[in-house]
A and B are shown apart, each in its own frame.
Chain A
Amino acid sequence: MFKVNRRDFMKLTGGAAVVGSVLGMPHIARAAGQKVVVIGGGPGGATAAKYLKMGNPGLDVTLIESGDSYVACFLSNEVLSGERTLESLTVGFDGLKKYGITVVKDTASAIDPAAKKVTTSGGKTFDYDRCVVSPGVEFNYEAVVGYSEAASHKAPHAWKAGPQTLLLRKQLEDMKDGGTFVIVAPPNPFRCPPGPYERAAQVAMYFKHKKPKSKIIILDPKDDFAKKGLFIKAWTSLYGYGTPDSMIKWVSGADGGKVDKIDMETLTVSAQTEDFKADVLNVIPPQKAGHIAHVADLVNEKGWCSVNKKTFESSKHPGVHIIGDASDATTMPKSAYSASSQAKVCAAAIIDLLAGKEPGDPSYVNTCYSIAGPDYGFSVAGVYTYDAEKNEIAGVKGAGGLTPVDASPEMLKREVGYAHSWLANIVADSWK
């Protein structure tokens, strides 16, 4: 063990070229010059690029990302409650450049797996030996009758953080006390399974202090959702759930929560048994893999990318790997933690494959925190291993699971602190 203070550490790691070796990663000179192109700079793509370079500084890694910076969805429900700013969720790509990654601001418009080339809408082409695709999700707007991309400017989805998040926050701030906020929850599978229910809790926290007569209605096609027991308990103890004055009402699929159509003129949502008039309407549409995955013929009939779960290589096009929300690795929830964990597995596999070696055995982790109120947080965790027989990511038996429902207030409070610390660490681990 050796200890250094921060200043010495900076001196020690001063040159980008030595970062990998100082941090204890193997240096494989043999693969020098081999090219990896990463599409998408979210937690999946950014982490893949960084860990590729850390694992083998000799690789030539290019990251293509449409945005100037990345705005994280995770913890963006706290922007809706006014607990944090969108700036606190925004991170640039300069940190990645320090590792020697070439960051290109452009949009990948095509992948040619035969010629091993990526083309961008800016008119550039990039050759690759291996390509990593982490484009996140795209919405099936039209699956909700009456809703559309244009309609999202009036009834935001706020399921990609940025202007949509700020628009929804503004609408909630402008809403009169006594108004109704309706959330239309999506069918499985979708990005961040506990997200809509955390959103209800965060908005309830804001209403409780600022607009106590207001209501929140969640219309859901499902009868079950992630961390349901924990959410119901939190809603009950914080927001009167289960009483006639409950601030939150959850209408399950069995109770007619599936939405038939939306009248955008009046913000009236017709669910199966009842119409709901919203003052503020949040529609989270059904989802599929990001656009480029469709253009590049990487998707299956369900709209997600089938991959080898050990390497994340496409089952359709060799040499192309898909990670994060867009992949069909659905035994892991679609979360930032999953995307980043999959990125590390994928990066290690690519390093082995490019060195002509059989990829080593993977190990994956997911965690997702939810914050339901002041000092009230809880989590789900999973440790996973690769099941070669089924080509599936399998949870290690006896491990993982939820915060116990009888967790003490002290532990729930600690989980809020650890959730915020998770944000800082995953951002640093992916982009810095």
Chain B
Amino acid sequence: MKIKMSLMALLGGMVFGGAALAEPTPAMLANACAGCHGTNGLSVGPTSPIISGMASEYFVAAMAAYKKGEWPSTIMGRIAKGYSDEQIKAMGDFFAKQPFVRAAQKNDAAKAKTGAKLHEEYCEKCHEKGGSAGEDAGVLAGQWMPYLEHAMEDYTSGKRPMTKKMQKQVDQLVQDHKHAGVEALVNFYGSAK
């Protein structure tokens, strides 16, 4: 126990304000997020993202990026700073075990159809199986659409960094299809049943 705690301190990120080091269970940590993300991370929407079923690696990367301010956020930057790296890993493993249930939401069928084609062309290579696989990225198929719109807006405006390869594809998409292309893709992901 003691060894583990000093190791945790060494790993950094232990930022408790004067309080004794605490080691809440993964469920204790994760349940506190449910007011915004839904019970076990399964957001009932219409805007907060579903985080259940998220791959632990992506979860850890997302929380680290919020913590460092590398990803734009309305609120997650302030929240992520409240947890040590160990605690984030524990929550990541917890959420990864919870079922991701695709959101039932209104979408434009015509746009979704166009989006399906665009996805094949520009995005499927990394976001496999129509965006439903998500080992190193979030699950896109069945995620809440307003959240995806925000993410795409942040990417295309340069506020959220992308890997060079994704950047290339997104730039190409926007060049070829303008904002309508993004909208079609969001509708495609929103149409997943």
A complexed with B: yes
Shortest beta-carbon contacts, A-B, top 5: A383-B82, A399-B82, A397-B17, A421-B47, A361-B22
User: Within the complex, what minimum Cβ distance (angstroms) separates A136 from chain B?
Assistant: 17
Instruction: Answer whether residue A394 sits at the interface, using C-beta atoms and an 8 A cutoff.
Output: yes
Interface residues on chain A, size class = 35 or more
Alpha-carbon distance between A337 and B35 when the two chains are bound, in angstroms: 7
CB contact list, B133-168 vs A, under 8 A:
134, 139, 142, 144, 146, 150, 153
Which one of A2, A23, A55, A387 contacts B20 once the chains associate, using CB atoms below 8 Å? A387
Instruction: Answer whether residue B132 sits at the interface, using C-beta atoms and an 8 A cutoff.
Output: yes
Instruction: Answer whether residue B4 sits at the interface, using C-beta atoms and an 8 A cutoff.
Output: no
User: Within the complex, what minimum Cβ distance (angstroms) separates A362 from chain B?
Assistant: 6
Alpha-carbon distance between A411 and B157 when the two chains are bound, in angstroms: 14
Which of B38, B72, B74, B97 gathers most chain A CB within 10 Å? B74
Whether the Cβ atoms of B78 and A399 lie closer than 8 Å is yes
User: Within the complex, what minimum Cβ distance (angstroms) separates B8 from chain A?
Assistant: 13
Alpha-carbon distance between A129 and B40 when the two chains are bound, in angstroms: 28
Whether the Cβ atoms of A365 and B35 lie closer than 8 Å is yes
Total interface residues on B, CB under 8 Å, equals 59
User: Within the complex, what minimum Cβ distance (angstroms) separates A317 from chain B?
Assistant: 25
Alpha-carbon distance between A255 and B39 when the two chains are bound, in angstroms: 46
Alpha-carbon distance between A400 and B31 when the two chains are bound, in angstroms: 17
Whether the Cβ atoms of A381 and B16 lie closer than 8 Å is no
Whether the Cβ atoms of A396 and B48 lie closer than 8 Å is no
Alpha-carbon distance between A145 and B83 when the two chains are bound, in angstroms: 47
Given contacts A345-B28, A363-B28, A424-B45, contact A386 B19 (CB under 8 A): yes
Residue on A nearest B144 in the bound complex, by CB: A421
Given contacts A25-B27, A360-B25, contact A394 B47 (CB under 8 A): no
Q: Among the listed stretches A33-41, A198-206, A412-420, which one makes contact with chain B, having 4 or more residues with CB under 8 Å of it?
A: A412-420
Whether the Cβ atoms of B81 and A422 lie closer than 8 Å is no
Which one of A4, A340, A407, A418 contacts B48 once the chains associate, using CB atoms below 8 Å? A418
Interface of A is mostly: mixed
| A-B contact list, 22 entries, CB within 8 Å | A1-B54, A1-B55, A2-B99, A3-B101, A4-B101, A6-B102, A24-B27, A341-B32, A341-B35, A360-B28, A365-B32, A383-B82, A387-B20, A395-B17, A399-B78, A400-B82, A403-B74, A411-B72, A424-B44, A424-B46, A425-B35, A429-B35
Interface of B is mostly: loop
User: Within the complex, what minimum Cβ distance (angstroms) separates A332 from chain B?
Assistant: 11
CB contact list, A368-401 vs B, under 8 A:
379, 381-383, 385-389, 394-401
Instruction: Answer whether residue A344 sits at the interface, using C-beta atoms and an 8 A cutoff.
Output: yes
Alpha-carbon distance between A400 and B76 when the two chains are bound, in angstroms: 9
Q: Which A residues have a C-beta under 8 Å from some C-beta of B? A: 1-6, 9, 12, 22-26, 51, 55, 337, 340-341, 344-345, 348, 360-365, 367, 379, 381-383, 385-389, 394-401, 403, 407, 410-411, 414-415, 417-418, 420-422, 424-426, 428-429
Given contacts A2-B53, A3-B53, A365-B32, contact A425 B43 (CB under 8 A): yes
Mark contacts of B71-86 with chain A using CB atoms, 8 A cut-off: 1 yes-contact digit, 0 otherwise. 0101100111111000
Given contacts A9-B101, A24-B94, A381-B79, contact A418 B47 (CB under 8 A): yes
Instruction: Answer whether residue B176 sits at the interface, using C-beta atoms and an 8 A cutoff.
Output: no
Alpha-carbon distance between A310 and B44 when the two chains are bound, in angstroms: 30
User: Within the complex, what minimum Cβ distance (angstroms) separates A49 from chain B?
Assistant: 13
User: Within the complex, what minimum Cβ distance (angstroms) separates B186 from chain A?
Assistant: 14
